[in-house]
Amino acid sequence: MANIFERLGKGEGVFTDEGKLSPDYVPVDVLFREREVREFAFCLQGSARGGKGEHLIATGPPGTGKTTCAKHVLGQLSEYSKKAVPIYINCWEFSTRYAIFGEIANLLGEVLPRRGIASDEMMGRIVQNLKREKKSLIVVLDEADRLFLEKEEGILYDFARAPETSRVNVGIIAIANNKEVFARMDARIRSSLCAKMIEFFPYSPVQLKEILKARARVAFFPNALSDEVVDLCAGIGAKNGGDARIALSVLRGAGKEAEREGARKVTLEHVKRAKEGVLGGIAKRKFPLLDGNLQKVFEFVEKKGDVDSVEIYAHFGAKEESEERKIRKWIAKLEELGFLEGKEFVDGEGRGRRIRVTGK
């Protein structure tokens, strides 16, 4: 009996390079984000010369190009100058001061003892490395919302103060979906950062079509898919918040569906099947930053649209003041993170508070 992988590999398939549709792929040209790319580069000019760059905070919904722009500019910087060390950190993976310092030290080539060392000592090693190599440091903190959830946002202060406290230049690019988390930053951190704010907006349907066409040219064999397939994938991304990641994931999934059948062409039916898998998976991990209770409160408010806080208490079975107080804390945390917003009201029965999803 032939090896199953050998049999699967005999078909030519539809992809020439499936990786070009991956969320981790950084294209040579970042379409429809020229202004944002220039802003990133402008803020890093000082770092490229070995000096101090400007700090930058990039916010916007998922799939709007924040991470792609950051990685694109870091790649360009690495080609242009050897005076800066760019480091990318995903705060979902490294969510504490200790973990972030440890990863930076590791990427700089520092050998840390197995017994472990204190955070301040790790920062000291990072500083000594930069001084020894005569380089500045650029740190991209992606999914920085996580830092606020873990109450680890103080690391922004550590980096911002490094030029004064340690005489090394550190530039920060913090990326998050929700700008409200930064609006609620401690005044001391905000003042030290003095960061440039840049907001990313959802892609339009036309922009999504062009992005998909550009990726399809380098990911698929010629004639493996029609304009109608691209249009449908773009439409799915547009209906889900102008999200390019969703559109690309559906296109990639459609290609996988075609290959699973041994087809040489991607059809609309393949797209429809891929859509179910992609959107179903996204729904399950919609807010990975939230723990179980916060997730449940958010989902209830999202479903209701606009709800009296009393109704939230009732839904979660709060009968005692202590139980209401616990739920109020959950709501307050979601407001602090920027997921929910509340508004006071007065009616014939007295004062109250209505809660809704931020921006809805």
The CA distance from 322 to 132, in Å, is 56
Overall fold of domain 292-357: Arc Repressor Mutant, subunit A (1.10.10)
CATH 1.10.8.60, the chain: domain bounds: 203-284
| Helix count and strand count (H, E) for the chain | 16, 8
Quick one: pLDDT band at residue 7, thresholds 50, 70, 90?
A: low
The CA distance from 81 to 79, in Å, is 6
Q: What is the mean pLDDT of residues 297-304?
A: 90
Per-residue pLDDT for 338 more than 80? no
Quick one: pLDDT band at residue 312, thresholds 50, 70, 90?
A: very high
Q: What is the mean pLDDT of residues 27-54?
A: 95
Per-residue pLDDT for 8 more than 70? no
Q: Which CATH class is domain 203-284?
A: mainly alpha
**Would you state the pLDDT for residue 359?**
63
User: With a threshold of 0.75, does the pTM exceed it?
Assistant: yes
Per-residue pLDDT for 124 more than 80? yes
Q: What is the mean pLDDT of residues 331-337?
A: 82
Report which of residues 25 and 182 the model is more confident about.
Answer: 25
**Would you state the pLDDT for residue 33?**
98
**Would you state the pLDDT for residue 317?**
87
**Residues 6+ away with beta carbon under 8 Å from 336:** 148, 181, 184
The CA distance from 317 to 221, in Å, is 57
Quick one: pLDDT band at residue 120, thresholds 50, 70, 90?
A: very high
CATH 3.40.50.300, the chain: domain bounds: 34-199
The 10 Å Cβ neighbour count of residue 339 is 26
Strands 350-357 and 340-347: antiparallel
Which range, of 17-26, 104-113, 209-218, averages the lowest pLDDT? 104-113
CATH 1.10.10.10, the chain: domain bounds: 292-357
pLDDT in tens, 197-214: 999 999 999 999 999 999
* Share above pLDDT 70 across residues of the chain, in percent, rounded to a whole number: 93
The neighbouring-strand residues paired with 113 are none
Per-residue pLDDT for 1 more than 70? no
Q: What is the mean pLDDT of residues 263-280?
A: 94
**Would you state the pLDDT for residue 2?**
60
Report which of residues 356 and 220 the model is more confident about.
Answer: 220
Q: What is the mean pLDDT of residues 312-317?
A: 90
Strands 136-142 and 340-347: unpaired
pLDDT in tens, 133-183: 999 999 999 999 889 888 899 999 999 999 999 999 999 999 998 888 888
Quick one: pLDDT band at residue 264, thresholds 50, 70, 90?
A: very high
Quick one: pLDDT band at residue 10, thresholds 50, 70, 90?
A: low
The pair of three-digit structure tokens given for residue 194, joined into one six-digit string: 């003095």
CATH 3.40.50.880 fits 34-199, yes or no: no
